[in-house]
Structure 1
Amino acid sequence: MFTGWPSDATAFLAEIDADNTREFWAANGHRHATAVHGPMRALAAELEPEFGPIRVLRAHRNRRFRPDTPPYRTDTGGVAASPGGAARTVVLSATALTTAVGHWTFDPGQLRRYRVAVLDEPGEELVELLAGHQVDRRRSLRGLPRGFKGDHARIDLLKLLGLQVVTTRPAGGWLSTPEPLERVRAAWRAAAPLVAWLDEHVGPADPVPPRPRPAPST
């Protein structure tokens, strides 16, 4: 059962943020397993019966395509996917517990379908669904989408390159209680109508075609 994160969890995340080295990890990595990763897996196990399989983030980063990225994560979290590919995420950092529901970024096909829906009747429904939610606008055009004017009634939605609603609460003693589980569950449940809208009108990302294999040398 999830009973909360010990106080050492956020302390460890702050320390790895300050000293993201192999040497620090060799001396302190065992703290991640007990104070950070273990409780995160327990939280995921409690949520899975309602929201489906949850992928718990690994501590080590994949640096294959970003070799300059620090080798160890400075947060922990989990991700569950809807049938249409919308993500339900929870992330614990040294400073806060955050949930996000939706798509961080749309691929070209998703963006096209999203804008078509926003311009038609489903757009009216979306405006109502987002009432009372905090929309993450970090993935938003600075200018205007091609073909649209700034006075369009839904221009703020049309400028989005992804759509997520988020909740954030600062870290504190409450993290050491079962309260995080209830907060995550409540946030994911509250966003269920948005997930249904995205699954119906946007859908999953287009499959990525396999890379062609190089021709054998002769």
Structure 2
Amino acid sequence: MFTGWPSDATAFLAEIEADNTREFWEAKGHRHATAVQGPMRALAAELEPEFGPIRVLRAYRNRRFRPSSPPYRTDTGGIASSPGGSALTVVLSATALTTAVGHWTFDSGQLRSYRVAVLEAPGDQLEGLLAGYQVDRRRSLRGVPRGFKGDHPRIDLLKLTGLQVVTTRPVGAWLSTREPLEWVRAAWRAAGPVVTWLDTHVGPADPVPPRPRPAPPSEGH
């Protein structure tokens, strides 16, 4: 049962952000399992009956494509997925608990479907659904997308190359209670109409084809 994060959770995340080294991890990493990861797994377990399987983020970063990134995560979190491929995420950092629901980025097919929907009647519905929400615009184009004019009434939506609605709350004593569970559950439920819109009009990303394995060397070579 989720009973909250102890105060050492945000303390540890702040410390690993300040000293993201193997030496720190070897000396202090045991705190991550008990104060950070354990409660996150308990939170995920209580959300799974309603939202499905939740992948809890590992403490180690995958640096294969970003070798310059820090080796250890400075946050913790979990990701669920809707039937249509929308992500429901929760992330705890040293300063805030945040939920984000939707798609961080669209692939080419999703982007085409999204823009078609925005230009037609579903665009009216989306504008209403997003009213009052904080929309993550870090993946928004700086310029105008090709084929559109800057004065288009929905140009802000058309600039998006992904769509996530975000809720965030500063850390505090409330984290050490069951309140984070109810807060995350309420945020994910409230974003349900946005998820339904994305699942209906955008859908899941195309699967990435597996890389072909190299052919075995021929005999005699």
Q: What is the TM-score normalised by the length of structure 2? A: 0.96
2:81 matches 1:84: no
Secondary structure of 2:29's counterpart equals helix
- Give the corresponding residue for 2:187: 187
Counting only pairs closer than 5 Å after superposition, residues 2-41 of structure 1 correspond to structure 2 as 2-41=2-41
Unaligned 5+ segments in structure 1 are none
Deviates more, 1:76-85 or 1:203-212: 203-212
Where 1:2 maps in the other structure, the secondary structure is: coil
Root mean square deviation, CA, Å: 1.0
Aligned to 1:141: 141
d(CA) in 2 for partners of 1:91, 1:172: 15
Q: Report the Cα distance in structure 2 between the residues aligned to 1:67 and 1:119, rounded to whole angstroms.
A: 40
For 1:158 and 1:61, the matched residues in 2 are separated by 32
Structure 2 unaligned spans of 5+: none
Alignment of 1:117-156 (within 5 A): 117-156=117-156
Partner AA of 1:137 in structure 2: R
* d(CA) in 2 for partners of 1:207, 1:79: 18
Q: CA deviation at 1:6?
A: 0.2
Q: TM-score, normalised by structure 1?
A: 0.97
The residue identity in structure 1 corresponding to 2:102 is G
Structure 1 Cα separation of the partners of residues 157 and 41 of structure 2? 35
Separation of aligned partners in 1, 2:169 and 2:6: 17
Count the aligned residue pairs.
Answer: 218
Could you tell me which amino acid in structure 2 is paired with residue 79 of structure 1? I
Secondary structure in 1 aligned to 2:43? helix
Correspondence for 1:72: 72
Distance 2:3 2:212 in 1: 48
What is the CA-CA distance between 1:215 and the residue it aligns to? Answer: 3.9
- Aligned residue for 2:95? 95
Separation (CA, whole Å) in 1 of partners of 2:142 and 2:134: 19
